[in-house]
Structure 1
Amino acid sequence: MTKFRLHYFNARGYAEVTRDMFHMAGVEFEDVRYELEDWIKEGSTTKDKMPFGQMPVLEVDGEMIPQSTTIARFVANHLGFAGQTATEKAWADAFADLYKDFLIDMKPWGMIAFGYPGAAGDRDELKKTVLDPAREKYFKLLTKRIEKSKSGFLLDSGICYTDLMFFETTTSMIGFESGFLGTDFPVVTAYFKRIGEHPKFKPYLETRPVQPK
Protein backbone atom coordinates (compact mmCIF):
# COMPACT_ATOMS: atom_id res chain seq x y z
CA MET A 1 0.00 0.00 0.00
CA THR A 2 1.30 3.44 -0.93
CA LYS A 3 2.27 5.53 2.09
CA PHE A 4 1.44 9.24 1.92
CA ARG A 5 2.82 11.95 4.24
CA LEU A 6 1.69 15.53 3.63
CA HIS A 7 4.00 18.21 5.06
CA TYR A 8 2.56 21.69 5.67
CA PHE A 9 1.96 24.34 8.29
CA ASN A 10 -0.77 24.01 10.89
CA ALA A 11 -3.23 25.84 8.63
CA ARG A 12 -5.47 25.15 5.64
CA GLY A 13 -3.61 27.21 3.06
CA TYR A 14 -2.09 25.56 0.02
CA ALA A 15 -2.36 22.02 1.41
CA GLU A 16 -6.06 21.88 2.20
CA VAL A 17 -7.26 20.82 -1.25
CA THR A 18 -5.02 17.77 -1.01
CA ARG A 19 -6.27 17.01 2.50
CA ASP A 20 -9.84 17.36 1.17
CA MET A 21 -9.27 14.71 -1.50
CA PHE A 22 -7.66 12.21 0.86
CA HIS A 23 -10.61 12.54 3.23
CA MET A 24 -13.19 12.38 0.43
CA ALA A 25 -11.61 9.20 -0.94
CA GLY A 26 -11.21 7.64 2.49
CA VAL A 27 -7.47 7.19 1.89
CA GLU A 28 -5.17 7.22 4.91
CA PHE A 29 -2.32 9.74 4.99
CA GLU A 30 -0.10 11.25 7.63
CA ASP A 31 -0.94 14.93 8.06
CA VAL A 32 2.42 16.32 9.22
CA ARG A 33 1.86 19.87 10.49
CA TYR A 34 4.52 22.43 11.42
CA GLU A 35 4.25 25.59 13.48
CA LEU A 36 5.56 28.67 11.69
CA GLU A 37 7.74 29.54 14.68
CA ASP A 38 9.56 26.23 14.40
CA TRP A 39 9.96 26.63 10.64
CA ILE A 40 11.67 30.03 10.85
CA LYS A 41 13.59 29.73 14.11
CA GLU A 42 17.36 29.97 13.99
CA GLY A 43 19.03 26.61 13.61
CA SER A 44 16.00 24.84 12.16
CA THR A 45 16.91 22.39 9.40
CA THR A 46 13.34 21.53 8.39
CA LYS A 47 13.37 23.88 5.40
CA ASP A 48 16.58 22.30 4.11
CA LYS A 49 14.87 18.91 3.97
CA MET A 50 12.24 20.13 1.53
CA PRO A 51 13.08 19.88 -2.21
CA PHE A 52 12.46 23.58 -2.93
CA GLY A 53 12.83 24.85 0.64
CA GLN A 54 9.10 25.41 0.96
CA MET A 55 5.83 23.60 1.66
CA PRO A 56 3.52 21.86 1.01
CA VAL A 57 5.44 18.72 0.16
CA LEU A 58 3.85 15.33 -0.44
CA GLU A 59 5.94 12.34 0.52
CA VAL A 60 5.00 9.24 -1.50
CA ASP A 61 6.73 6.12 -0.26
CA GLY A 62 9.65 8.32 0.74
CA GLU A 63 9.77 10.37 -2.50
CA MET A 64 9.29 14.10 -1.80
CA ILE A 65 7.07 15.97 -4.30
CA PRO A 66 6.93 19.81 -4.01
CA GLN A 67 4.54 22.53 -5.26
CA SER A 68 0.90 22.72 -4.20
CA THR A 69 -0.73 22.51 -7.64
CA THR A 70 1.50 19.63 -8.71
CA ILE A 71 0.64 17.80 -5.50
CA ALA A 72 -3.09 18.41 -5.90
CA ARG A 73 -3.01 17.27 -9.52
CA PHE A 74 -1.02 14.14 -8.63
CA VAL A 75 -3.44 13.19 -5.86
CA ALA A 76 -6.46 14.04 -8.03
CA ASN A 77 -5.24 11.68 -10.75
CA HIS A 78 -4.44 8.99 -8.19
CA LEU A 79 -7.81 9.22 -6.45
CA GLY A 80 -10.15 10.05 -9.36
CA PHE A 81 -10.68 13.80 -8.91
CA ALA A 82 -9.06 14.95 -12.16
CA GLY A 83 -11.71 14.13 -14.78
CA GLN A 84 -12.67 11.01 -16.70
CA THR A 85 -11.34 11.82 -20.18
CA ALA A 86 -8.26 13.52 -21.59
CA THR A 87 -10.39 16.55 -22.47
CA GLU A 88 -11.84 16.76 -18.97
CA LYS A 89 -8.35 16.50 -17.47
CA ALA A 90 -7.26 19.38 -19.69
CA TRP A 91 -10.19 21.50 -18.53
CA ALA A 92 -9.44 20.70 -14.88
CA ASP A 93 -5.86 21.86 -15.45
CA ALA A 94 -7.06 24.96 -17.31
CA PHE A 95 -9.17 25.99 -14.33
CA ALA A 96 -6.21 25.32 -12.05
CA ASP A 97 -4.29 27.86 -14.14
CA LEU A 98 -7.22 30.27 -13.93
CA TYR A 99 -7.17 29.83 -10.16
CA LYS A 100 -3.48 30.80 -10.08
CA ASP A 101 -4.25 33.82 -12.29
CA PHE A 102 -6.82 34.95 -9.74
CA LEU A 103 -4.32 34.66 -6.90
CA ILE A 104 -1.88 36.82 -8.86
CA ASP A 105 -4.58 39.39 -9.71
CA MET A 106 -5.71 39.83 -6.10
CA LYS A 107 -2.24 39.60 -4.51
CA PRO A 108 -1.73 43.36 -3.83
CA TRP A 109 -4.92 43.36 -1.72
CA GLY A 110 -4.12 39.99 -0.17
CA MET A 111 -0.69 41.12 0.99
CA ILE A 112 -2.38 43.78 3.10
CA ALA A 113 -5.40 41.77 4.23
CA PHE A 114 -3.36 38.72 5.24
CA GLY A 115 -0.79 40.81 7.09
CA TYR A 116 2.35 40.02 5.10
CA PRO A 117 5.39 41.85 6.54
CA GLY A 118 6.42 44.88 4.51
CA ALA A 119 3.19 45.08 2.51
CA ALA A 120 2.09 48.63 1.76
CA GLY A 121 -1.12 50.19 0.53
CA ASP A 122 -4.65 51.07 1.60
CA ARG A 123 -6.78 47.96 2.03
CA ASP A 124 -10.10 49.64 1.19
CA GLU A 125 -8.69 51.29 -1.92
CA LEU A 126 -7.08 48.04 -3.06
CA LYS A 127 -10.39 46.27 -2.57
CA LYS A 128 -11.95 48.63 -5.10
CA THR A 129 -9.09 48.68 -7.59
CA VAL A 130 -7.71 45.13 -7.27
CA LEU A 131 -9.94 42.65 -5.45
CA ASP A 132 -13.34 43.63 -6.84
CA PRO A 133 -12.26 43.52 -10.53
CA ALA A 134 -10.50 40.18 -9.98
CA ARG A 135 -13.59 38.79 -8.26
CA GLU A 136 -15.89 39.91 -11.09
CA LYS A 137 -13.65 38.34 -13.75
CA TYR A 138 -13.30 35.11 -11.76
CA PHE A 139 -17.01 34.75 -10.97
CA LYS A 140 -18.10 35.51 -14.55
CA LEU A 141 -15.87 32.75 -15.91
CA LEU A 142 -17.07 30.29 -13.27
CA THR A 143 -20.69 31.17 -14.06
CA LYS A 144 -20.19 30.59 -17.77
CA ARG A 145 -18.68 27.16 -17.18
CA ILE A 146 -21.14 26.00 -14.52
CA GLU A 147 -24.18 27.00 -16.57
CA LYS A 148 -23.17 24.55 -19.31
CA SER A 149 -22.06 21.75 -16.98
CA LYS A 150 -24.20 18.62 -16.68
CA SER A 151 -23.08 17.98 -13.10
CA GLY A 152 -23.20 21.43 -11.54
CA PHE A 153 -19.43 21.33 -11.10
CA LEU A 154 -16.63 22.36 -13.46
CA LEU A 155 -16.57 18.96 -15.16
CA ASP A 156 -19.56 17.02 -16.48
CA SER A 157 -18.34 13.89 -14.69
CA GLY A 158 -18.51 15.49 -11.24
CA ILE A 159 -16.45 17.24 -8.61
CA CYS A 160 -12.73 17.68 -9.30
CA TYR A 161 -9.69 19.14 -7.59
CA THR A 162 -10.15 22.57 -9.12
CA ASP A 163 -13.68 22.84 -7.70
CA LEU A 164 -12.04 22.37 -4.31
CA MET A 165 -9.39 25.01 -5.07
CA PHE A 166 -12.03 27.64 -5.79
CA PHE A 167 -14.11 26.58 -2.79
CA GLU A 168 -11.24 26.69 -0.31
CA THR A 169 -9.94 30.05 -1.49
CA THR A 170 -13.39 31.61 -1.50
CA THR A 171 -14.08 30.27 1.99
CA SER A 172 -10.86 31.85 3.20
CA MET A 173 -11.61 35.13 1.39
CA ILE A 174 -14.97 35.38 3.14
CA GLY A 175 -13.12 35.16 6.44
CA PHE A 176 -11.13 38.28 5.54
CA GLU A 177 -13.78 40.12 3.48
CA SER A 178 -17.24 39.07 4.65
CA GLY A 179 -19.05 40.34 1.54
CA PHE A 180 -16.72 38.63 -0.94
CA LEU A 181 -19.24 36.04 -2.15
CA GLY A 182 -22.08 38.56 -2.35
CA THR A 183 -25.43 37.95 -4.05
CA ASP A 184 -24.76 39.27 -7.57
CA PHE A 185 -23.55 35.92 -8.92
CA PRO A 186 -26.30 33.46 -7.87
CA VAL A 187 -24.93 30.64 -10.02
CA VAL A 188 -21.59 30.87 -8.20
CA THR A 189 -23.30 31.08 -4.81
CA ALA A 190 -25.25 27.91 -5.56
CA TYR A 191 -22.08 26.27 -6.89
CA PHE A 192 -20.14 26.81 -3.68
CA LYS A 193 -23.09 25.60 -1.62
CA ARG A 194 -23.20 22.47 -3.78
CA ILE A 195 -19.51 21.78 -3.15
CA GLY A 196 -19.89 22.27 0.61
CA GLU A 197 -22.80 19.84 0.69
CA HIS A 198 -21.15 17.15 -1.44
CA PRO A 199 -21.73 13.88 0.47
CA LYS A 200 -18.06 12.90 0.32
CA PHE A 201 -16.86 16.34 1.38
CA LYS A 202 -19.37 17.52 3.97
CA PRO A 203 -18.32 15.10 6.75
CA TYR A 204 -14.75 16.44 6.67
CA LEU A 205 -15.94 20.06 6.57
CA GLU A 206 -17.99 19.45 9.71
CA THR A 207 -15.10 17.95 11.68
CA ARG A 208 -11.92 19.69 10.48
CA PRO A 209 -10.16 22.24 12.72
CA VAL A 210 -11.59 25.76 12.57
CA GLN A 211 -8.84 27.94 11.14
CA PRO A 212 -8.94 31.41 9.54
CA LYS A 213 -6.96 30.41 6.45
Structure 2
Amino acid sequence: MRTLLLGCFAGLATLAAPAAAQDQDGKVQIKVMGTAVLPDGKITDLNTDIVGLPAGTQTKANDNYVPTIAIEYFVTDNVSLETICCLTQHDVDAVSGLPGAELVSNAKLIPATVTAKYHFDLGGVKPYVGAGATYFLWISDKPGAATIPLGVTDTDLSDEFGLALQAGFDVPLSDNGFGLTFDAKRYFVDTTARWYAGDTLAIETEHKLDPWVLSAGVSYRF
Protein backbone atom coordinates (compact mmCIF):
# COMPACT_ATOMS: atom_id res chain seq x y z
CA MET A 1 0.00 0.00 0.00
CA ARG A 2 2.81 2.45 0.90
CA THR A 3 4.61 1.74 -2.38
CA LEU A 4 1.39 2.21 -4.36
CA LEU A 5 0.61 5.50 -2.64
CA LEU A 6 4.12 6.87 -3.20
CA GLY A 7 3.87 5.85 -6.83
CA CYS A 8 0.60 7.74 -7.23
CA PHE A 9 2.11 10.85 -5.67
CA ALA A 10 5.18 10.67 -7.87
CA GLY A 11 3.21 10.11 -11.06
CA LEU A 12 0.83 12.98 -10.46
CA ALA A 13 3.65 15.29 -9.42
CA THR A 14 5.43 14.52 -12.69
CA LEU A 15 2.31 15.32 -14.69
CA ALA A 16 1.76 18.55 -12.79
CA ALA A 17 5.30 19.93 -12.93
CA PRO A 18 5.24 21.51 -16.43
CA ALA A 19 1.82 23.11 -15.93
CA ALA A 20 1.96 24.27 -12.32
CA ALA A 21 3.89 27.40 -13.14
CA GLN A 22 1.24 28.42 -15.71
CA ASP A 23 -1.82 27.74 -13.52
CA GLN A 24 -2.18 29.84 -10.38
CA ASP A 25 -4.56 27.32 -8.82
CA GLY A 26 -2.29 24.37 -9.56
CA LYS A 27 -3.06 21.10 -11.32
CA VAL A 28 -2.87 18.71 -8.36
CA GLN A 29 -4.93 18.65 -5.18
CA ILE A 30 -4.27 16.39 -2.19
CA LYS A 31 -7.00 15.80 0.38
CA VAL A 32 -6.60 14.26 3.84
CA MET A 33 -9.99 13.37 5.30
CA GLY A 34 -11.92 11.53 7.95
CA THR A 35 -14.42 9.19 6.30
CA ALA A 36 -17.56 7.35 7.37
CA VAL A 37 -18.20 4.17 5.37
CA LEU A 38 -21.87 3.21 5.73
CA PRO A 39 -22.67 -0.03 3.84
CA ASP A 40 -25.91 -1.94 3.44
CA GLY A 41 -24.96 -5.64 3.33
CA LYS A 42 -28.39 -7.20 3.01
CA ILE A 43 -28.93 -10.58 1.33
CA THR A 44 -30.52 -10.34 -2.12
CA ASP A 45 -30.29 -14.04 -3.10
CA LEU A 46 -29.64 -17.35 -1.34
CA ASN A 47 -27.91 -19.67 -3.82
CA THR A 48 -26.72 -22.53 -1.59
CA ASP A 49 -27.70 -23.56 1.95
CA ILE A 50 -26.87 -27.05 3.24
CA VAL A 51 -26.92 -26.03 6.93
CA GLY A 52 -30.55 -24.88 7.01
CA LEU A 53 -30.56 -21.15 7.72
CA PRO A 54 -33.78 -19.98 9.43
CA ALA A 55 -36.40 -18.59 7.06
CA GLY A 56 -36.17 -14.84 6.71
CA THR A 57 -32.50 -14.60 7.65
CA GLN A 58 -31.23 -11.15 6.77
CA THR A 59 -27.88 -9.41 7.28
CA LYS A 60 -26.28 -5.99 7.73
CA ALA A 61 -22.65 -4.88 7.38
CA ASN A 62 -21.45 -2.60 10.16
CA ASP A 63 -20.31 1.00 9.63
CA ASN A 64 -16.65 2.00 9.87
CA TYR A 65 -14.73 5.26 10.25
CA VAL A 66 -11.31 5.58 8.63
CA PRO A 67 -8.73 8.12 7.41
CA THR A 68 -8.55 8.57 3.63
CA ILE A 69 -6.32 10.34 1.13
CA ALA A 70 -7.63 11.62 -2.22
CA ILE A 71 -5.36 12.64 -5.10
CA GLU A 72 -6.91 14.85 -7.78
CA TYR A 73 -5.54 16.04 -11.13
CA PHE A 74 -7.18 19.00 -12.90
CA VAL A 75 -7.37 18.43 -16.64
CA THR A 76 -8.95 21.88 -17.05
CA ASP A 77 -10.15 24.54 -14.58
CA ASN A 78 -13.50 22.73 -14.32
CA VAL A 79 -12.73 19.06 -15.00
CA SER A 80 -10.63 16.79 -12.80
CA LEU A 81 -9.83 13.12 -12.22
CA GLU A 82 -9.66 11.80 -8.66
CA THR A 83 -8.61 8.59 -6.95
CA ILE A 84 -8.85 7.70 -3.26
CA CYS A 85 -6.79 5.47 -0.99
CA CYS A 86 -8.20 3.82 2.10
CA LEU A 87 -8.70 0.50 3.88
CA THR A 88 -11.98 -0.20 5.63
CA GLN A 89 -13.00 -3.13 7.82
CA HIS A 90 -16.45 -4.63 8.34
CA ASP A 91 -18.30 -7.45 10.07
CA VAL A 92 -21.51 -8.91 8.65
CA ASP A 93 -24.15 -9.75 11.27
CA ALA A 94 -27.62 -11.26 11.03
CA VAL A 95 -30.45 -8.86 11.87
CA SER A 96 -33.29 -11.38 11.48
CA GLY A 97 -33.55 -15.16 11.47
CA LEU A 98 -30.40 -15.34 13.61
CA PRO A 99 -30.44 -11.84 15.13
CA GLY A 100 -27.06 -10.73 16.42
CA ALA A 101 -25.16 -13.70 14.94
CA GLU A 102 -21.78 -12.75 13.48
CA LEU A 103 -21.47 -14.33 10.02
CA VAL A 104 -18.35 -12.60 8.64
CA SER A 105 -15.56 -11.22 10.82
CA ASN A 106 -12.97 -8.53 10.09
CA ALA A 107 -13.48 -8.32 6.34
CA LYS A 108 -10.93 -5.82 5.02
CA LEU A 109 -11.77 -3.91 1.84
CA ILE A 110 -9.86 -1.65 -0.55
CA PRO A 111 -12.47 0.31 -2.59
CA ALA A 112 -10.23 1.24 -5.55
CA THR A 113 -12.09 4.17 -7.15
CA VAL A 114 -11.50 6.66 -9.96
CA THR A 115 -14.01 9.43 -10.67
CA ALA A 116 -14.28 12.26 -13.20
CA LYS A 117 -15.55 15.48 -11.61
CA TYR A 118 -17.01 18.76 -12.90
CA HIS A 119 -16.41 21.83 -10.71
CA PHE A 120 -18.53 24.97 -10.42
CA ASP A 121 -16.90 28.23 -9.28
CA LEU A 122 -19.20 30.17 -6.93
CA GLY A 123 -16.42 32.34 -5.52
CA GLY A 124 -15.90 31.33 -1.91
CA VAL A 125 -17.32 27.83 -2.45
CA LYS A 126 -16.54 25.44 -5.30
CA PRO A 127 -19.12 22.63 -5.55
CA TYR A 128 -18.67 19.64 -7.83
CA VAL A 129 -20.39 16.51 -9.09
CA GLY A 130 -18.76 13.37 -10.42
CA ALA A 131 -19.07 9.74 -11.42
CA GLY A 132 -16.72 6.87 -12.03
CA ALA A 133 -15.80 3.23 -11.62
CA THR A 134 -14.82 1.24 -8.56
CA TYR A 135 -13.34 -2.17 -7.85
CA PHE A 136 -14.00 -3.63 -4.40
CA LEU A 137 -10.98 -5.74 -3.48
CA TRP A 138 -11.37 -7.89 -0.36
CA ILE A 139 -7.91 -8.60 1.05
CA SER A 140 -9.05 -10.50 4.15
CA ASP A 141 -12.22 -12.11 5.48
CA LYS A 142 -12.83 -14.63 8.27
CA PRO A 143 -15.75 -16.81 9.34
CA GLY A 144 -17.93 -15.13 11.93
CA ALA A 145 -18.16 -16.55 15.42
CA ALA A 146 -21.69 -17.89 14.81
CA THR A 147 -20.62 -19.95 11.78
CA ILE A 148 -17.73 -21.84 13.38
CA PRO A 149 -19.99 -24.20 15.45
CA LEU A 150 -21.68 -25.12 12.14
CA GLY A 151 -18.36 -26.48 10.86
CA VAL A 152 -17.43 -23.48 8.69
CA THR A 153 -13.68 -23.28 8.14
CA ASP A 154 -13.37 -20.53 5.52
CA THR A 155 -15.25 -17.48 4.21
CA ASP A 156 -14.81 -15.74 0.87
CA LEU A 157 -16.24 -12.43 -0.40
CA SER A 158 -15.97 -11.90 -4.15
CA ASP A 159 -14.12 -8.92 -5.63
CA GLU A 160 -16.45 -6.91 -7.87
CA PHE A 161 -16.61 -3.88 -10.20
CA GLY A 162 -19.22 -1.21 -9.59
CA LEU A 163 -20.31 2.40 -10.09
CA ALA A 164 -19.66 5.43 -7.88
CA LEU A 165 -21.56 8.75 -7.90
CA GLN A 166 -20.06 11.76 -6.14
CA ALA A 167 -20.89 15.29 -5.00
CA GLY A 168 -19.26 17.78 -2.67
CA PHE A 169 -17.60 21.14 -2.37
CA ASP A 170 -14.21 22.71 -1.69
CA VAL A 171 -13.69 25.89 0.32
CA PRO A 172 -10.38 27.70 -0.38
CA LEU A 173 -8.96 29.24 2.80
CA SER A 174 -6.20 31.34 1.23
CA ASP A 175 -4.23 31.97 -1.95
CA ASN A 176 -1.52 29.49 -0.95
CA GLY A 177 -3.57 26.41 -1.92
CA PHE A 178 -4.98 25.31 1.45
CA GLY A 179 -8.68 24.66 1.92
CA LEU A 180 -11.47 22.59 3.42
CA THR A 181 -13.27 19.81 1.57
CA PHE A 182 -16.56 17.96 2.02
CA ASP A 183 -17.43 14.92 -0.10
CA ALA A 184 -20.22 12.35 -0.47
CA LYS A 185 -20.09 9.22 -2.60
CA ARG A 186 -22.72 6.55 -3.21
CA TYR A 187 -21.42 3.24 -4.46
CA PHE A 188 -23.43 0.65 -6.34
CA VAL A 189 -21.70 -2.72 -6.02
CA ASP A 190 -22.56 -6.23 -4.80
CA THR A 191 -20.58 -9.21 -3.55
CA THR A 192 -21.05 -12.98 -3.38
CA ALA A 193 -20.37 -14.47 0.06
CA ARG A 194 -19.36 -18.11 0.38
CA TRP A 195 -18.91 -20.17 3.54
CA TYR A 196 -16.99 -23.46 3.27
CA ALA A 197 -16.89 -26.50 5.56
CA GLY A 198 -13.59 -27.97 4.49
CA ASP A 199 -13.84 -28.25 0.70
CA THR A 200 -17.66 -28.22 0.73
CA LEU A 201 -19.61 -25.06 -0.14
CA ALA A 202 -22.08 -24.80 2.75
CA ILE A 203 -23.71 -21.40 2.12
CA GLU A 204 -23.61 -18.98 -0.80
CA THR A 205 -25.45 -15.66 -0.72
CA GLU A 206 -25.58 -12.51 -2.84
CA HIS A 207 -25.26 -9.23 -0.92
CA LYS A 208 -26.07 -5.62 -1.76
CA LEU A 209 -23.25 -3.45 -0.40
CA ASP A 210 -24.06 0.01 -1.89
CA PRO A 211 -22.29 2.06 0.81
CA TRP A 212 -22.53 5.77 1.41
CA VAL A 213 -19.02 7.17 1.90
CA LEU A 214 -19.03 10.58 3.61
CA SER A 215 -15.80 12.55 4.07
CA ALA A 216 -14.57 15.87 5.43
CA GLY A 217 -11.06 17.22 5.80
CA VAL A 218 -8.36 19.55 4.54
CA SER A 219 -6.92 20.04 1.07
CA TYR A 220 -3.82 21.45 -0.57
CA ARG A 221 -3.71 22.42 -4.27
CA PHE A 222 -0.41 23.07 -6.03
TM-score for the superposition, normalised by structure 1: 0.21
Q: Which has the larger radius of gyration?
A: 2
TM-score scaled by length of structure 2 = 0.21
Higher helix share: 1
More strand by share: 2
